[in-house]
Amino acid sequence: MLTKEQIAQRIAQEVKHGQYINLGIGIPTLVANYIPSELDVVLQSENGLLGIGPFPTESEVDADVINAGKQTITMLPGSAIFDSAESFAMIRGGHVHLTILGAMEVSEHGDIANWKVPGKMVKGMGGAMDLVASAKMIIVAMQHCSKDGHSKLLPSCTLPITGVRCVKKIVSDLAVLEIDPEGGFILKERAPGVSVEEIKSKTAGKLKILGEIPEMQFN
Amino acid sequence: MLTKEQIAQRIAQEVKHGQYINLGIGIPTLVANYIPSELDVVLQSENGLLGIGPFPTESEVDADVINAGKQTITMLPGSAIFDSAESFAMIRGGHVHLTILGAMEVSEHGDIANWKVPGKMVKGMGGAMDLVASAKMIIVAMQHCSKDGHSKLLPSCTLPITGVRCVKKIVSDLAVLEIDPEGGFILKERAPGVSVEEIKSKTAGKLKILGEIPEMQFN
Amino acid sequence: MILKTVKDAKEAVADIPSGAFLMMGGFGLCGIPENCIEALLEKGITDLTIVSNNAGVDDFGIGLFLKKRMVKKMISSYVGENEEFERQMLSGELEVELLPQGTLAEKIRAGGAGIPAFFTPAGVGTEVAKGKETREFDGKPYLMERSFISDFSLVKAWKGDTAGNLIYKGTARNFNPMMAAAGKITIAEVEELVPVGTLDPNQIHTPGIYVQRIFQGKKYEKRIEQRTVSTYK
Amino acid sequence: MILKTVKDAKEAVADIPSGAFLMMGGFGLCGIPENCIEALLEKGITDLTIVSNNAGVDDFGIGLFLKKRMVKKMISSYVGENEEFERQMLSGELEVELLPQGTLAEKIRAGGAGIPAFFTPAGVGTEVAKGKETREFDGKPYLMERSFISDFSLVKAWKGDTAGNLIYKGTARNFNPMMAAAGKITIAEVEELVPVGTLDPNQIHTPGIYVQRIFQGKKYEKRIEQRTVSTYK
């Protein structure tokens, strides 16, 4: 089973040179730490910044420069600031290539639920619905099962959904899976030491196993 | 009968303190010369400028600073530059209070035709359709009759229209008229030396004459 | 130029009545109109409908309005940093309309731009689509969203001139420019109010045409929600 | 940062094919991509559809494309400064779609912003409304307009950095920013190309995300259509 850091590390392998990327809060934020430095990519923050830099030192902290998680950050040489309408114009218009975000549930058709649990306080969808509706490539970082052991990869979502048929790839603590456009989770890689049988037993949606399933590689 | 300059001068009397104003090409452009200096108003140029200044001196000419008539102009202290989408956001959103433009025909319901004559080369509507569809106050500067003596104030427009029920006021070489929301040109003022009878004979649309019609006053 | 200066926050918000439809700039606590918030707290009006991406925290920003029960309805994309909000929402005292952040931003932008409605893919097939028209363009479904116009927009900029031209700083820009354009009356508070002619016309973020009142804020606390620092570089 | 630099105009436009759907920035001759125009003239491609507010003059700008019969269709708001244009249009060699200037600007803005359609009051009840859906909102009629996305957008800025961030000067901004955002491939030519980190992030007009190729133009003639001067001040 992968740690959160390892999930982030595995997702970082999906990043390609020249991509503009939006990272959600939580595990996705960690992905930034594992993107190989030889790749030129730009991180977008939906509150209005292209070119998220590292966290500031004490003396660099500026209350007017934050990310979408409301954390103080820095800008990089070549950064650009814009308003929220422009930020989502970018997202909605497909200019942001890759969105990485967390999920509570994903269906075998690529539906995602990550904003609301009935009966619990609803905090809101923030920018997630815009992001999943428009990004060309959407990768979900998630735990394969809930704390009480229920699979979060389902035939269809039970929670209110954030977007329909939008997720392309999932990296969970157990596996890398792709969504088959015709329905089903295509198993691509196993976490080190995790058997196909275990993944099968913990995937409630249709799991497609084609040939030998390799173990994930970490450098 | 008024000269073009006098039409502009009379229209300038309609300008109110604090207005943002868009002036069309031709007579409307001349209005700027007659706005009393004690009124603070701002002229908008739909190619992307608030705060049109006077024409530049030779040494001030800048090819990158022009008005919508493609003339070289200057900016004023407090000017702002923006793109064409923002410029028409301003216009469409009703932020520009007053539009003054020319017309080939106006109907007694306030329809205006000023962009196209069938059989002749069509140059395009430019920003006129956006302006007439959205400005709160639209004043037309025009000749009362065509060169061959036909009235241009009609029961309904014969030329392809630019906008429907949008004109509020007309200043022609003969008269000041307001459009009655129920239809008809309400005669408000006569040009110096022009009789009500003459205006009547030269207005093809319904003319409404209520009481004594004063002569225009020029200071 | 048309001058827009008012003396202070108190004068700027003097005519905002109970029941008003307000827009308030900011993302979290970043770029919020702190001085207008304080002045409205003192006025103590009620039944406000507020469009704001977030709802502040318990003891700062819009959270203070909630404490004083000034708000009837919040229209936001993300709330939950705020216990009083949660309490009022769960008890039904507070109405809440949650919208995707980009949809919220565009509804405001459209309002200022005279566009009554537009289509967006965000929210198709979700709860957000309830009661909204869905329509296909080029084989893909979209929701029709209506625009927002406020009675009063309260925005905060870095620098402004007396003609109402505004420049924002960093990510404190966020929702402020669209809200400035979408207000029937827009009140801008700035950290530094400068004379007309000081700002470069080429670098104005919000042209003065959108601003009806402007003043320099007395002070800015600029509270930080998630102070995150790196100890090495 | 992602670097977008190409050597020159020739390299930048090398893969633009005959039949392409282009957007070209500028208002009249102000802010037009002079170097890209020259490079395309040399390539001599044909059957272009061009979105541009105007069509240049006989011997400059897009007028030069018309002379070489490179254009199949123009989508503009105002044309007529150009005799060859008139001849080709009247003879039926050239297709022309005229749109209200604000509608044109917003169709381009919507294209870049992922909005497939929006409503505008401009053109209601006129020829422009033909074939378009009319719909009432709050008792007022509006037209539904679809958005535009180009195969290639050619824009001209004042300064740009190697990451594609652009700053325009004066009214040479006009249609350039929206077109930059609405291109599948956007080519920016600038008067001055500077290293990343030179431009203030707070003052970027077009963020680099919208620009795929950038180069510094060899020279700019910046021809003036209506040189108007005042002799006294």
Query: Which residues 158-177 on chain B approach chain D with CB closer than 8 angstroms?
Result: 160-164
D203 shares contact with chain B (CB less than 8 Å): no
CA distance linking residue C63 with residue B39, whole number of Å: 43
Report the mean per-residue pLDDT for chain D: 96
Check residue B119 and give its pLDDT: 82
**Residue of chain B whose Cα is closest to the Cα of D226:** B71
Check residue C231 and give its pLDDT: 75
Check residue C204 and give its pLDDT: 98
**C66, pLDDT greater than 70:** yes
C-alpha A57, offset from chain centre: 27
User: Which residues have a Cβ under 8 Å from the Cβ of A189 and sit 6 or more positions away?
Assistant: A175, A176, A213, A214, A215, A216
User: Which residues have a Cβ under 8 Å from the Cβ of C19 and sit 6 or more positions away?
Assistant: C46, C47, C48, C49, C72
Q: Nearest CA of chain B to the CA of C217: how many Å?
A: 21
Query: What integer is the mean pLDDT of D142-156?
Result: 98
**Quick check: A86 and D2 CB within 8 A?**
no
Does residue B218 form part of some domain?
no
What stretch of H or E contains A84? helix A84-92
Q: Which positions in chain B touch C114 (Cβ < 8 Å)?
A: 89, 91-94, 134
**Quick check: C116 and D138 CB within 8 A?**
yes
Of residues B62 and D231, more confidence is placed in B62
**C233, pLDDT greater than 70:** no
Question: By 3-state DSSP, what share of chain B in percent is helix, strand and coil, each rounded to 5?
Answer: 20, 30, 55
**Quick check: A81 and D204 CB within 8 A?**
yes
B74 shares contact with chain C (CB less than 8 Å): no
Q: Could you read off the pLDDT of D27-60 as tens digits, one per residue?
A: 999 999 999 999 999 998 999 999 999 999 999 9
Q: Are D179 and D24 in contact (CB under 8 A)?
A: yes
Does residue B177 form part of some domain?
yes
Q: Could you read off the pLDDT of C185-214 as tens digits, one per residue?
A: 999 999 999 999 999 999 999 999 999 999
Report the mean per-residue pLDDT for chain C: 96
Does residue A219 form part of some domain?
no
**B93, pLDDT greater than 80:** yes
DSSP collapsed to 3 states, D2-69: CCCECCCHHHHHCCCCCCCEEEECCECCECCCHHHHHHHHHHCCCCEEEECCCCCECCECHHHHHHCC
What stretch of H or E contains B8? helix B4-12
Q: What is residue D161's three-state secondary structure?
A: strand
Does residue A60 form part of some domain?
yes
Would residue B46 show up in a list of annotated catalytic residues for this protein?
A: yes
A40 shares contact with chain D (CB less than 8 Å): yes
Residue A127 lies in domain: 4-208
Q: Nearest CA of chain D to the CA of C166: how many Å?
A: 12
Q: Are D55 and D76 in contact (CB under 8 A)?
A: yes
Subunits adjacent to chain B (3 or more Cβ pairs under 8 Å): C, D
Of the residues D101, D109, D115, the best mutation for testing chain C's interface (the one with the most C CB atoms within 10 Å of its CB) is: D115
Q: Could you read off the pLDDT of B166-189 as tens digits, one per residue?
A: 999 999 999 999 999 999 999 999
Residues of chain A with pLDDT under 70: none
Does residue A213 form part of some domain?
no
Query: What integer is the mean pLDDT of B93-109?
Result: 97
What Å distances lie between residue B92 and A85, A138, B170, C179, CA to CA? 18, 36, 22, 16
Query: What integer is the mean pLDDT of D135-141?
Result: 97
**Quick check: D30 and B73 CB within 8 A?**
no
Subunits adjacent to chain C (3 or more Cβ pairs under 8 Å): A, B, D
CA distance linking residue D210 with residue A87, whole number of Å: 12
**Quick check: C226 and A72 CB within 8 A?**
yes
Check residue D12 and give its pLDDT: 98
Check residue D83 and give its pLDDT: 85
Q: Nearest CA of chain A to the CA of C41: how many Å?
A: 23
pLDDT band at D232 (very low <50, low <70, confident <90, very high): low
Of the residues A38, A47, A79, A132, the best mutation for testing chain D's interface (the one with the most D CB atoms within 10 Å of its CB) is: A79
Amino acid C113 reads: A
**Total structural domains within chain B:** 1
**D188, pLDDT greater than 80:** yes
Backbone angles phi, psi at C168, to 5 degrees: -100, 165
Query: What integer is the mean pLDDT of B85-110?
Result: 98
Check residue C176 and give its pLDDT: 98
CA distance linking residue C29 with residue C32, whole number of Å: 6
**Quick check: A81 and C90 CB within 8 A?**
no
**Quick check: C77 and A163 CB within 8 A?**
no
Check residue A120 and give its pLDDT: 84
Of D78, D86, D171, nearest to B126 by CB-CB distance is D78
C-alpha B60, offset from chain centre: 29
Check residue C232 and give its pLDDT: 61
Query: What integer is the mean pLDDT of B153-168?
Result: 97
Query: What integer is the mean pLDDT of D197-211?
Result: 98
CA distance linking residue A146 with residue A139, whole number of Å: 19
Active-site residue, selected from the candidate residues B46, B105, B108, B189: B46
Sheet bearing C134-137, strands edge to edge: C134-137, C140-146, C117-120, D117-120, D140-146, D134-137
Q: Which positions in chain C touch D146 (Cβ < 8 Å)?
A: 137
Of the residues B41, B46, B49, B79, the best mutation for testing chain C's interface (the one with the most C CB atoms within 10 Å of its CB) is: B79
| % chain D with pLDDT above 70 | 99
pLDDT band at C44 (very low <50, low <70, confident <90, very high): confident
Residues A88, A94, A98: CA angle, nearest 5 degrees: 95
Active-site residue, selected from the candidate residues A5, A14, A38, A46: A46
**C43, pLDDT greater than 80:** yes
Evaluated on CA atoms A118, A120, A124, A125, the torsion sign reads negative
Query: Which residues 173-212 on chain A approach chain C with CB closer than 8 angstroms?
Result: none
Nearest by Cα to C27 from D176, A87, D38, D73: A87
CA distance linking residue C53 with residue D224, whole number of Å: 45
Domain harbouring B43, CATH code: 3.40.1080.10
Backbone angles phi, psi at C73, to 5 degrees: -145, 135
Q: Could you read off the pLDDT of A42-99 as tens digits, one per residue?
A: 999 999 999 999 999 999 999 999 999 999 999 999 999 999 999 999 999 999 999 9
